């Protein structure tokens, strides 16, 4: 039976590369984003490389609750079921607090928290109806501790995602009649458009295809929680949770 994966924020970066790699693994794809011209180009690329795969695209702004629900339901209808939803759409804007740039922090909160919450609501409603599914939340290694300056809000929103995923997974542990898995991924530094202006020599940064390959492997294994790529982020993640905050600041 064909496996269908829905990915939000699929027009670039991690979302687009996940789509390529899932297609290579034999998945049919429902791809959503605001930039539909990029989605169309990605669809053409994937279907040219994997003509047996079905790829459908949907315009979606995840900060519009009604649109999220409608698009997820439309995708379910188009494919008859959704086996996996990857909550990937996100923003990386931010500014230090008290500096007069709250608009940037607010936009990130609206997308990464409220947008993620409604995506999760829509996905879980479908999975409960199907009595099966796989919810994947893309957090960040920065979710493990508070981050300074322009990263403060971004890290906090990713910590919300991590806690959200664990809470739903805890509930599902008590419902064996529902075959619903929940995975939270904590990517380290992976090169994407979001961080393309970051200094190229940033330590631990890996190329998009390399980083996403480790993400896809963790998702396919349905790991409840994964620091990706595992090397060096498993070790760094453990250190981040244990070390004093001044040391964590220097570590990253």
Instruction: Say what the pLDDT of residue 203 is.
Output: 73
225, containing H or E segment? strand 225-228
Which two tokens mark 139?
A: 């957090």
In sequence order, which residues have a C-beta less than 8 Å from that of residue 217 and are 6 or more positions away?
none
SS3 assignment, position 243 = coil
183, containing H or E segment? strand 179-187
Which two tokens mark 199?
A: 């200094």
Nearest to 226 by CA among 134, 120, 136: 136
Instruction: Say what the pLDDT of residue 51 is.
Output: 97
Helices 152-173, 102-109: inter-axial angle, 10-degree rounding: 20
Instruction: Say what the pLDDT of residue 130 is.
Output: 97
Nearest to 88 by CA among 64, 107, 115, 109: 115
The residues that are catalytic are: 154
Nearest to 32 by CA among 113, 115, 92: 115
How many Å apart are CA 56 and CA 37, to the nearest integer? 13
pLDDT in tens, the chain (252 residues): 789 999 999 999 999 999 999 999 999 999 999 999 999 999 999 999 999 999 999 999 999 999 999 999 999 999 999 999 999 999 999 999 999 899 999 999 999 999 999 999 999 999 999 999 999 999 999 999 999 999 999 999 999 999 999 999 999 998 999 999 999 999 999 997 655 555 545 678 999 999 999 999 999 999 999 999 999 999 999 999 999 999 998 887
Instruction: Say what the pLDDT of residue 43 is.
Output: 97
Instruction: Say what the pLDDT of residue 1 is.
Output: 75
Q: What is the pTM of this model?
A: 0.95
CA distances from 161 to 52, 139, 236 (A): 34, 6, 20
Ordered domains of the chain (ranges, CATH):
3-251 (3.40.50.720)
Nearest to 119 by CA among 189, 69, 84: 69
In sequence order, which residues have a C-beta less than 8 Å from that of residue 53 and are 6 or more positions away?
23, 26, 27, 28, 29, 46, 47
N- to C-terminal Cα distance for the chain?
Answer: 44
210 neighbors 165 (Cβ within 8 angstroms): no
130 neighbors 178 (Cβ within 8 angstroms): no
Instruction: Say what the pLDDT of residue 251 is.
Output: 82
Residue with tokens 């199907």: 130
Instruction: Say what the pLDDT of residue 201 is.
Output: 58
């Amino acid at each position: 039976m064909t496996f269908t994966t829905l990915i939000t924020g699929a027009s670039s970066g991690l979302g687009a590369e996940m789509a390529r790699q899932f297609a290579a693994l034999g998945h049919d794809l429902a791809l959503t984003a605001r930039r539909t011209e990029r989605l169309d180009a990605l669809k053409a690329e994937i279907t040219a490389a994997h003509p047996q795969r079905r790829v459908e695209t949907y315009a979606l702004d995840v900060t519009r609750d009604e649109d999220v629900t409608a698009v997820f339901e439309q995708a379910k209808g188009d494919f008859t079921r959704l086996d996996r939803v990857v909550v990937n759409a996100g923003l990386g804007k931010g500014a230090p607090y008290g500096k007069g740039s709250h608009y940037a922090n607010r936009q990130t909160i609206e997308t990464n928290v409220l947008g993620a919450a409604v995506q999760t609501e829509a996905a879980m409603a479908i999975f409960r109806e199907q009595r099966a599914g796989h919810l994947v939340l893309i957090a960040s290694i920065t979710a493990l501790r508070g981050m300074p300056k322009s990263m403060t809000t971004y890290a906090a929103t990713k910590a919300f995602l991590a806690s959200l995923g664990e809470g739903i997974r805890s509930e599902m542990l008590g419902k064996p009649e529902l075959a619903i898995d929940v995975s939270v991924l904590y990517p380290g530094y992976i090169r994407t458009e979001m961080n393309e202006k970051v200094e190229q020599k940033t330590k631990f940064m890996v190329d998009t295809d390399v980083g996403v390959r480790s993400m896809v492997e963790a998702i396919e294994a349905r790991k409840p929680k994964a620091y990706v790529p595992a090397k060096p982020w498993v070790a760094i993640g453990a250190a981040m949770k244990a070390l004093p905050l001044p040391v964590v600041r220097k570590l990253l």
